A and B are shown apart, each in its own frame.
Chain A
């Protein structure tokens, strides 16, 4: 079945780069997403990548996709305290349901 896994916790110092990793199992996924969730709030889409791409950069965010290893990463450059949140990766396909399968989330703590 489909499964998306992430490490649970990451702590970095303000100004450093953060790298959050994710592995997935469904090779038919068309899109891979990164969402941010702040405490008590819903999910905010940060970025996404098509499965036929290797990399996507969007300001401070860089997404790398290794399709062979089914590995996805999100790099946040110059991490700020406002980046502290839970980050979820998710995979989605183009079947009739367009469902998203979420990872367990990585809690990012940015230390001043």
Chain B
């Protein structure tokens, strides 16, 4: 149980275009989803936290107009990188969290999406 998928797993796009990455909780309802960015050989940096039906909370330094997050349902969150540039190339990882009687679960991580902007 507690499987999180991401789609696509790998995407190449041209500079200036937009790319959408999906994060799905397959067998549970995710009240909260997190989006992380990981540069090569570096740690995960939290970009934003999203709760179903409300606006995402972005970490300091993350441009909300560039990284659009939509958490439209309890099983799906999307991250759209708008007007992508080569410096946006990175590994994007989502995680999903559920809760039981108000107590949050651990974060279940997706396999990641590698974005390359040419």
Residue numbers of A with Cβ under 8 A of B are 33, 35, 40-45, 48, 88, 97-105, 107
Tell me if A88 and B43 are in contact (CB < 8 A): yes
Q: Which residues of A contact B109 (CB under 8 A)?
A: 35, 42-45
- Tell yes or no: B114 within 8 A of A by CB: yes
- Nearest opposing residue in chain A for B104, CB measure: A98
Q: Is B43 in contact with A42, judged by CB distance below 8 angstroms?
A: no
Interface centre among A43, A44, A104 (most CB of B within 10 A): A43
Residues of A within 8 A of B97 (CB): 98
Where chain A touches its partner, the secondary structure class is strand
Closest residue to A90 on the B side, CB-wise? B44
Q: In the bound complex, what is the Cα–Cα distance between A104 and B104 (angstroms)?
A: 25
> Are B42 and A97 interface neighbours, CB within 8 A?
no
Cα of A94 to Cα of B29 in the assembled complex, Å: 20
Please indicate the chain A residues that have their CB under 8 angstroms from the CB of B57 in the complex: 97
Is B44 a contact of A102 with CB atoms below 8 Å? Answer: yes
* Other-chain contact of B93, A43, A97, A103, A105 (Cβ < 8 Å): A43
A42 and B46 in contact (CB under 8 A), knowing A98-B32, A98-B104? no
B107 at the interface (CB under 8 A from A): yes
B44 near A99 (CB under 8 angstroms)? no
Least Cβ distance of A38 to chain B in Å? 10
Interface centre among B6, B106, B114 (most CB of A within 10 A): B106
**A45 pairs with B42, CB closer than 8 A:** no
If A43-B109, A45-B109, A97-B49 are given as contacts, then 20 extra A-B residue pairs at C-beta distance below 8 Å, sorted by A number, are: A33-B106, A35-B109, A40-B112, A42-B93, A42-B109, A42-B111, A43-B44, A45-B107, A48-B106, A88-B44, A97-B57, A98-B32, A98-B104, A98-B107, A100-B34, A101-B46, A102-B44, A104-B42, A105-B42, A107-B41
